[in-house]
């Protein structure tokens, strides 16, 4: 008996900005740069990757690569993409 599976895309369900912020906070807490990049990619897809590409001037395909499973975006890419997504990077003294 074959099992039929459907693919799940978190970006289709992660439409609330507060939920997106929670996802990113958890990703950063993991300490894994690939998880952080992937989470930013999910948020970018939820907001519309083509719109992000248009706003940043970065090719859509390059964004998918940077924020994919093995993504490793440059600081330049992050500094262009995060404001378009309405996300601020903030630094604090560690407790």
The whole-angstrom separation of Cα 77 and Cα 93 is: 25
pLDDT tens string 11-31: 888 999 999 999 999 999 999
pLDDT tens string 26-73: 999 999 999 999 999 999 999 999 999 999 999 999 999 999 988 899
Length of the chain: 95
Cβ pair 31, 37 in contact under 8 A: no
Domain boundaries, the chain: 33-88
For domain 33-88, give its CATH number from 1.10.287, 1.20.120, 1.10.260, 1.20.1300. Answer: 1.10.260
Tokens 């459907």, located at residue = 6
Dihedral, CA of residue 5, residue 11, residue 12 and residue 14, to nearest 10: 120
**Predicted model pTM:** 0.86
């Amino acid at each position: 008996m074959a099992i039929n599976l459907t693919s799940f895309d978190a970006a289709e369900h992660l439409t609330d900005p507060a939920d997106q912020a929670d996802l990113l906070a958890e990703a950063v807490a993991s300490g894994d740069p690939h998880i952080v990049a992937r989470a930013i990619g999910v948020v970018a897809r939820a907001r519309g990757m083509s719109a992000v590409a248009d706003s940043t001037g970065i090719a859509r395909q390059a964004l998918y690569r940077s924020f994919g499973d093995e993504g490793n975006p440059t600081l330049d890419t992050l500094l262009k993409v995060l404001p378009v997504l309405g996300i601020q990077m903030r630094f604090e003294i560690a407790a």
